[in-house]
Amino acid sequence: MITLQGKGVSSGIAKGRLSFIKRKSLPVEKRPIDDVELEIKRFNMARQVAADQLDTLTATMADKIGEENALLFEIHRMMLEDADYCDPIVEIIKTEKVCAEYAVNTAGSRLAKEFADMDDEYMKARSIDVYDVSKRIVEILSGGGQALGSDDDPVILAADDFTPSETAQLDRSKTLALVSRQGAVNSHTAIFARTMGIPAAIGFGAFLSNDFSGKEAMLDGETGVLYVDPEPAVITGLEAKAERTRREREALEKMRGKPTRTKSGKMMKLYANIGSVSDADAALAGDAEGVGLFRSEFLYLGRDTYPDENAQYESYRKALEKMGNRQVIIRTLDIGADKQADYFNLPKEENPAMGMRAIRICLTRPDIFKTQLRAIYRASVHGNAAIMFPMICSLDELLRAKELAKAVREDLAAKGVPFKLDVPIGIMIETPASAVVSDMLAREADFFSIGTNDLTQYTLAIDRQNNSISSFCDTHHEAILRLIAMTCDNAHRAGIWCGICGSLGADLALTKTFVEMGVDELSVEPSCILKLRSVIAAC
């Protein structure tokens, strides 16, 4: 038996034959050309074909990998228009007088390497996207293609790395698991694998040798360990683990449809965090009692212009209709910091996390904010909506945001447009400032939802994007717990409810603490809901 340690990125146990993916090799030779203009034309035509393919992928993959994930192909499409990507290719064709395949391959590899060499883990993970787009164009130019998983039986697929396009288009019935030599934890390949429930581990390096092709193997996607020719004891151990997980899941199913209640009988709400309309299906499948955080900014990302009022209205309406009478809390625009959209033309900042983001943009550019509020109010007649403002730091900000909401209501009423008057307006508590003045804010808000991801970042002065300092990030730090307790007390004193929608809400080590603090609602990833309900029942 050979044991290889990788990084587990999608949990689950898989047992089967290892099969290294067969890509039809694309000979990218340095073919000299005479007609430069003709070659640039070939490149542009291939770009157009690639754009059409990516449009189809965006439209057809939403069901399989989720609407938000499918937007990646829209980003790939935008790369086809990006001068940083295209200009060096044209330059190589012109100066070296070589074929487009070679120019795309050379310039694409250079750009992919630039990304791979970056410190930031997110940017590093984008290297595979550049490679994916270049591979697509080269394949179009050379009339080639790839055959993934051409085996008849289901196998554990192995490769240097999988591109997002490959992963999204995998035949689930033939794919037991994915293992790769390279890859990044934050890559879309990893995200897609999790969404599709395919166990996966990455980063095995050269240890994942082609010599293992055809051998029996077992993968534990949680620990990231791959066993080649597994010993009987390992097989028994992992099969027992898979069985335990299956039984645990079965036991959790008993919590489905039950109310969320503590041992002492206190009722709590278990809501889901979503980023798109299609995520509402996952929320329902996970048995969410509502949506505690609809990250509406995803409607603004991956595009080159502002989504108009009607497009937004349609998204909110669909989400509300899907959730029926369950509450859907729509967080207003939280763009800026790590979520950038070029067309906002935000200033380049030294510290974007502390810069022009979220409610600050909305208060500075009320036209954008009012368009969103109008869309939410119009959609409100289709379900049980609530509005939530992000990144509030002061009472003044809350009052100004509420004033704009009032102006929108007045305008809709004057025009005779139907909307619900009593849509609750809550705020996120994401800054130490808002937690400290939560007594004042509670008098003007209908509810609080604590965003522990940002609250942790701002309280501990730990950039949430910077992996290199994650060892300093004590998410259970007493300062954070005190701020949560203080916020909760102040909410209750003012007679409003207080929830948590940051990642800490799903931290089972803190569930009892939150129950004791009197937290009323937890909004988490849909897959955490049944487990949390069973833990709360024992608190």
| Catalytic sites, residue numbers | 188, 501
Alpha carbon distances (Å) from 338 to 76, 120, 432: 19, 12, 20
**Nearer Cβ to ligand PEP, position 334 or 520?**
334
Report the site for ligand PEP in 333-362 (rule: CB under 6 A): 334
Binding residue for ligand PEP, selected from 39, 68, 454, 520, defined by CB under 6 A: 454
Applying CB under 6 A, does 221 fall inside the site for ligand PEP? no
Is 295 a residue that touches ligand PEP (CB under 6 A)? Answer: yes
Smallest distance, ligand PEP to C-beta of residue 103, A: 40
Whose structure tokens read 């906002």?
A: 344
Closest CB to Mg ion among 287 and 430?
Answer: 430
501 makes contact, choosing from ligand PEP, Mg ion, none, with CB < 5 to 8 Å by partner type, with ligand PEP
Total of chain residues touching ligand PEP, rule CB under 6 A: 10
Under the binding rule (CB under 6 A), the answer on residue 163 touching ligand PEP is: no
Q: Which is nearer to Mg ion, 103 or 293 (CB)?
A: 293
CA dihedral (372, 377, 382, 384) positive or negative: positive
Residue sitting closest to Mg ion (CB):
454
Q: Does 451 bind ligand PEP (CB under 6 A)?
A: yes
Distance CA 520, CA 71 (A): 34
Residue 136 binds ligand PEP, judged by CB under 6 A: no
Distances in Å between the Cα of 467 and the Cα atoms of 75, 121, 451 are 24, 7, 20
Torsion angle of C-alpha atoms 158, 159, 161, 163, degrees rounded to 10: -90
Distance of closest approach, residue 453 Cβ to Mg ion, in angstroms: 5
Binding partner of 315, given Mg ion, ligand PEP, none, CB within 5-8 angstroms per partner class:
none
Instruction: For residue 244, give both structure tokens.
Output: 């335990």
User: Dihedrals φ, ψ of 171, to 5°?
Assistant: -85, 110
Q: In the bound complex, what is the minimum distance in angstroms from residue 464's beta carbon to Mg ion?
A: 9
- One-letter amino acid at 222 equals E
Q: From Mg ion, ligand PEP, none, which one binds at residue 510 (CB under 5 to 8 Å depending on kind)? A: none
CB of 504 to ligand PEP, least distance (A): 8
Q: Toward Mg ion, which CB reaches closer, 104 or 480?
A: 480
Q: Any alpha helices (H) in 286-341, and if so which ranges?
A: 309-323
The alpha-helical segments, DSSP class H, found in 223-272 are: 232-253
User: By C-beta, is 79 or 437 nearer to Mg ion?
Assistant: 437
Write out the two tokens for 268: 């709590």
Residue 224 interface partner, choices Mg ion, ligand PEP, none, CB cut-off 5-8 Å depending on type: none
- Per partner kind, with CB cut-offs from 5 to 8 A, the member of ligand PEP, Mg ion, none near residue 262 is none
**Number of CB atoms found within 10 A of residue 23's CB:** 16
**Residues whose CB falls within 8 Å of the CB of residue 422, separated by 6 or more in sequence, listed in order:** none
Of residues 485-504, those binding ligand PEP (CB under 6 A): 501-502
State the nearest-atom distance from the C-beta of 339 to ligand PEP, in Å: 8
* Interaction pattern, residues 418-437, with ligand PEP; x per rule: CB under 6 A: ------------x-------
- Of 75, 405, 491, 19, the closest CA to residue 210 belongs to 19
382 lies in the site for ligand PEP, by CB under 6 A: no
**What order of strands is seen across the sheet that includes strand 216-220?**
2-5, 225-228, 216-220, 13-20, 155-159, 175-180, 200-202, 7-10
Binding site for Mg ion (CB under 5 A): 430, 451, 454
Whole-number minimum distance, CB 450 to ligand PEP, in Å?
A: 7
Say which entry of ligand PEP, Mg ion, none residue 295 contacts (CB below 5 to 8 A, set by partner kind): ligand PEP
Give the residue among 289, 370, 375, 305 at the shortest CA–CA distance from 343. 305
**What are the tokens at 395?**
């009472």
Minimum separation from the CB atom of position 250 to ligand PEP (A): 31
**Distance (Å, whole) CA 534 – CA 538:** 7
Q: Which residues bind ligand PEP (CB under 6 A)?
A: 293, 295, 334, 430, 451-454, 501-502
